[in-house]
Structure 1
Amino acid sequence: MSWVQIGMLWETFSVVRDLPRLHEIASVMIRYGWGDFVRVLGMGSVLERAGRILHWKTRSSEIDQLEPAVRFRMALEELGPTFIKLGQLLSTRMDLLAPAWITELEKLQSHVPAVPFEDIEADVLLLLGKPLDEVFASFEREPFAAASIAQVHRAQLLDGTRVVVKIRRPGLERKVEADLRILQHLARLFEHEYAEARRFQLVGMVSYFRRALLQELDLLTEAHHMTRFQKNFADDPTVRIPKIFWDYTSSGMNVQEELQGILGSRLDEVRAAGLDPVILAERGANIVLKMILVDGYFHADPHPGNVMYLPGNCIGLIDFGMVGRLTEYRRQQLIGLLDALVRNEEADLIQILMDWTGEEEVNEVKLAHDVADLMANYDHLQLKDVRVAALLNDIASLIRDNSLLLPADLTLLFKALITLEGLGQQLNPNFQLSDLMAPFVRDVIMQRYTAEALIKRSRRGLKEAFEVVAGLPRDVAKLMREVRRGRLRIDLDLKRLDSFGQQIDRASNRVTMGILTASLVIGSSIVMTVDGWRFMGFIGFALAFLNSLWVIFSIWRSGS
């Protein structure tokens, strides 16, 4: 652990309010066998300098016998909401983690003991601005669901409408903010010290996670998500999204309509209620595919606990804390990938993967070989015959093996599609998501070549070309001004230049000490010839001897 790292960490965590939480994180990581990780990041050095002692030998033999992925998952669970959500996000990163780790992180649960209503009643009254009995005819003080971020109570408005009241857990924001600060600092440190870690874009990943988590903490944001989905499906009677009661909704609480139906995890009740599982599977898939391929705005967590089956084979969706967004450009890329796969166009698929990777260096020969192998597995298949989950896992494996990186918005999409196909197959063993995807893909491809789309693309292309040409004189004039002023600058990013500078500094110190030692030897030799000054000559020789020992020791310690 270098002093540069320790200094950086000490400066980073100098805010006293974060030190207790950092100590808690480090202690949990050590207990679950991740002490080396704590050492590498210098967390132990920082805490011990702050007077907080870590117990490095707290692991039990039972924990030692567990697989690393299991120990990692258990540590995240103990660290609380931020790290549970981080683990759930990592479970979508099939491009970074091996399948065994993905499977383990998928087990992370946000279910925690509920907070007694007496402890949050004052906050609820403050958010409502009036007593409970002036808003609700009845209110169940015992929640029927409790998660790491919020808990949910059933209630009834004065007009008889049945609602659910979602209340954020008290004191959560402060702890989450501290966790996010620590994660941001650690990501910066990791990228600064380990060049190979930069390809994973850890700082960007933490920033993306921060935005997603803070949005999920804001229950008002969730309410806005629900309103937008209601508008997108206003003409579809088979979809139900709870109505929001805005008069009682804020960032700390939202009040929404209670859907009356069968939770998606209770499959045994579906047929008993007279519902058709085949129709439910098809309608559910069409809903999510419309969100992704048409609207570009989708429910990012369509697992059985967030789906309800309603009378008339309708689908109800709940819990919109996590949503995904796809730009028009990204949707076109996704369609292009599927189209390239079906048409066996290797070059098109490679180009899309390279676009996703950005500016990172890629072994294009290996990538082309792996894409050819992938294509061979799906050769002569129609889109309706493709298993979507298997395809996405194959693509994620290819990306991982070639050190590519999947864009963050697509990681949520991949996870949502895999979850959706699994849910459909629970309802109907013969369910094929690709059967329903094929018409959407065909329609989107056809829309590319309509007269309106062609005219729109042409206008956009002409506009961009005109802007480039029109701005060229201005850019050239600016460049020439900088040259005349002597302010033209070329930035070079020389990796590890800081380490090189430290090596030069140490070498110059040794040279200086060597010159000083030689000077002492020569000067002492002269002084020894002068009567009455021989004692000073002996002192000079002694100092030269000590200096030479220091130089030899420093060279030996550095291995140079």
Structure 2
Amino acid sequence: MALPLRDARRLAEIIATFTRFGGGWLLERGGLSPGPARGDEDLTPARLRQALEALGPVFVKLGQILSTRRDLIDAPWADALSHLRARVTPLPWSEMEARAETALGRPWREVFSAITPEPIGSASIGQVYAAKLLDGTDVVIKITRPDQEERIQADLRLLEYAAARAAALSPGVARYQPAAMVRELARAIRAEFDLTEEAENTEEMAANLAGFPKVRVPKLWRAYSSRDLMVQERIFGTPPSDAEALAAAGLDGPTLAAVGAEAFMHSLLVERVFHADPHPGNLFALPGNQMAFIDFGMVGRLTTARQRELMAFLKAIVTADPKAFAKLLLRWSGADNIHTPPASLEAAAGRFIARHSRRGLDLSRAITDIMEMVREENLALPPDLVLLFKAMATADGTMKLLDPSFDSITAAKPFVARDLLALPKPEELAARFSDFAGAAAAFGEEAPDLLRAGLARLSEGRLRAEVTLAGGGDLARALEQAARRIAGGLVLAALLLTMGPVLAKAGPLVAGLPLGSWLGILGLIGGVWHISRRWKL
């Protein structure tokens, strides 16, 4: 209990709050309560939501994440948690002003001609103010609150401890990787405390979307920005949720949805860095049917492997391939055998594909169905995938405000088709060949030793065997030679598979085909002739 006692006062507040709302037994299961602790009433979905709101930003965000995990909790609980909102009273400007000047390292009037003292946005982590630079440029200033960090860090330490305890006490809980879930939560919240990270995210997204003339990302003033303060361009626009204002401004909803969706899909499927919270308050419609993305405090990042899996997910829906979809769910769940899905899972995948591939896709409904399928099949999803699904569903909902007929799969099809037709990049080819060749070479080097060891154990055991090859020589030498030939063949095959598509298009055209294709055909004929001579076919 060393870690919880470190934050004893905060732990006592958490226990008292959960007990008051009937949820003390949850803390008991997480190892945070010394014994049964129950309130006067039983815990209900609504009372759990109230308890989390009373405990502040960390527990609110935890509840919001859990609301997307219908693979973990029943629908009534998920529905209640989806309405969680952080209730934080804004701090007066007199307190925030001192923090701003400390972060700037000078009086604010040396940088700004005016700052509106009433915040235009307030959250648990920080507050946002409208301001003007000395040259009259409209900007917004985000300032972190000075009163939350100590408590938030204590909450994260306690949740990390509780997740580890719960996983240790229950193998069933461990399957869902609670520690990884809390790490994702902690990473997101700690990133929000460091506005330097948000500034870097904003600049990265601006660079990634530079090729989209109808997409805007706010300009930053890095000279004035620091860990506790960030200054960026103020963009005036119309929120996607205000249909009357969009119509009055002469803006076209379907065009705006297409612009926003293409930018989001490009970030997700090409750049592998995406806005993790693209709700209507973080997007603005601008004159000329342009879209602005703001607030990059939460940014998701995909590994190359996860990007390929996401593309496989979209391909399975686009091509209506339930078996591929079932295999992907098994891979995400860390199953040992992903090549032979259980009949029940393949049937469920078939129903999912039939439901969601024949008409405009409601991504929020589809993700809910995936979560329920995973739960029914006793599988589990990694926490980072849940953040990705949440961002995709949020973007889908925002685009549907602009265009009720919007379909995420239709928006993704060009990227899927491009991926199907695209040749691997040279650097990807080199990386794949290097990995495969290294593994094959290691196999070739290790195979003789492994074979010798196996033969030695065989000779020392109860079963003894003596094999004489027709051409002479012992078995170990023959197998060693065969292993080296196999390794060489694997390396050659890897080279042909990776470089073949590139070489086939190389060189001038000869009788309608590139010279590289002719050389490949001649090589194939020569190889067949050599094998037939060698094996006397």
Residue pairs, 1:79-118, within 5 angstroms: 79-110=55-86, 112-118=88-94
- Does structure 1 retain, via aligned residues, the 8 Å contact 2:71–2:371? yes
- Counterpart of 2:331 in structure 1: which amino acid? D
- Counterpart pick for 2:227 among 244, 247, 251: 251
Between the aligned partners of 1:88 and 1:215, the Cα distance in structure 2 is 17
TM superposition shift of 1:303: 0.7
TM superposition shift of 1:215: 0.9
Between the aligned partners of 1:475 and 1:242, the Cα distance in structure 2 is 61
Structure 1 unmatched runs, 5+: 1-8, 47-53, 480-560
SS of 1:45's partner is: coil
Residues 361 and 90 of structure 1: is their aligned pair in 2 closer, same or farther, counting only changes over 3 Å?
farther
Larger radius of gyration: 1
TM superposition shift of 1:467: 5.8
- Does structure 1 retain, via aligned residues, the 8 Å contact 2:363–2:396? yes
SS of 2:409's partner is: helix
Between the aligned partners of 2:396 and 2:344, the Cα distance in structure 1 is 29
Q: Is it true that 1:35 corresponds to 2:35 in the alignment?
A: no
TM-score, normalised to structure 1, is 0.75
- The corresponding residue for 2:419 is 444
Between the aligned partners of 1:155 and 1:357, the Cα distance in structure 2 is 48
Between the aligned partners of 2:21 and 2:280, the Cα distance in structure 1 is 31
Taking only the aligned residue pairs, the percentage that are identical comes to 35
Between the aligned partners of 2:339 and 2:10, the Cα distance in structure 1 is 42
- Does structure 1 retain, via aligned residues, the 8 Å contact 2:156–2:186? yes
Deviations along 1:486-510, one digit per CA (max 9) or x if unpaired, are: xxxxxxxxxxxxxxxxxxxxxxxxx
Deviations along 1:32-73, one digit per CA (max 9) or x if unpaired, are: 111222344454438xxxxxxx9x6764x6xx5xx7221111
Residue pairs, 1:417-496, within 5 angstroms: 417-447=392-422, 449=423, 452=426, 455-456=429-430, 459-466=433-440, 468-469=442-443, 472=446
- Counterpart of 2:79 in structure 1: which amino acid? T
Between the aligned partners of 2:211 and 2:285, the Cα distance in structure 1 is 19
- Counterpart pick for 2:158 among 179, 182, 191: 182
Q: Is it true that 1:279 corresponds to 2:255 in the alignment?
A: yes
SS of 2:175's partner is: helix
- Counterpart pick for 1:408 among 347, 365, 383: 383
Between the aligned partners of 1:389 and 1:339, the Cα distance in structure 2 is 18
TM superposition shift of 1:361: 9.3
TM superposition shift of 1:360: 7.3
- Counterpart of 2:343 in structure 1: which amino acid? A
Deviations along 1:84-140, one digit per CA (max 9) or x if unpaired, are: 121222223233233333322221223522100112222211111111110101111
TM superposition shift of 1:301: 0.7
Between the aligned partners of 1:360 and 1:381, the Cα distance in structure 2 is 28
Of the structure 1 ranges 26-35 and 343-352, higher mean CA displacement relative to structure 2 is found in 343-352
SS of 1:148's partner is: coil
Deviations along 1:313-338, one digit per CA (max 9) or x if unpaired, are: 11111111111111222121122223
- Counterpart of 1:216 in structure 2: which amino acid? E
Q: How many aligned positions are there?
A: 454
Residue pairs, 1:38-57, within 5 angstroms: 38-45=27-34
- Counterpart of 2:9 in structure 1: which amino acid? P
Q: Is it true that 1:131 corresponds to 2:122 in the alignment?
A: no
- Does structure 2 retain, via aligned residues, the 8 Å contact 1:374–1:394? no
Residues 415 and 116 of structure 1: is their aligned pair in 2 closer, same or farther, counting only changes over 3 Å?
same
- Counterpart of 1:355 in structure 2: which amino acid? R
- Does structure 2 retain, via aligned residues, the 8 Å contact 1:296–1:327? yes
SS of 1:14's partner is: helix
TM superposition shift of 1:466: 4.6
Between the aligned partners of 1:418 and 1:57, the Cα distance in structure 2 is 36
SS of 1:308's partner is: strand
- The corresponding residue for 1:50 is none
- Counterpart pick for 1:76 among 35, 49, 52: 52
SS of 2:143's partner is: strand
- The corresponding residue for 2:371 is 396
- The corresponding residue for 1:192 is 168
Between the aligned partners of 2:427 and 2:363, the Cα distance in structure 1 is 28
- Counterpart of 1:13 in structure 2: which amino acid? P
Deviations along 1:3-28, one digit per CA (max 9) or x if unpaired, are: xxxxxx3x33232xx11100000011
SS of 1:370's partner is: helix
- Does structure 1 retain, via aligned residues, the 8 Å contact 2:215–2:290? yes
TM superposition shift of 1:458: 5.2
Residues 272 and 351 of structure 1: is their aligned pair in 2 closer, same or farther, counting only changes over 3 Å?
same
- Counterpart of 1:432 in structure 2: which amino acid? D
SS of 1:316's partner is: strand
Residues 440 and 241 of structure 1: is their aligned pair in 2 closer, same or farther, counting only changes over 3 Å?
same
- Does structure 2 retain, via aligned residues, the 8 Å contact 1:200–1:405? yes
TM superposition shift of 1:423: 1.8
Between the aligned partners of 2:348 and 2:163, the Cα distance in structure 1 is 35
- Does structure 1 retain, via aligned residues, the 8 Å contact 2:241–2:401? no
Residues 453 and 435 of structure 1: is their aligned pair in 2 closer, same or farther, counting only changes over 3 Å?
farther
Deviations along 1:236-270, one digit per CA (max 9) or x if unpaired, are: 11111111111111111111110011123323211
- The corresponding residue for 1:166 is 142
SS of 2:5's partner is: coil
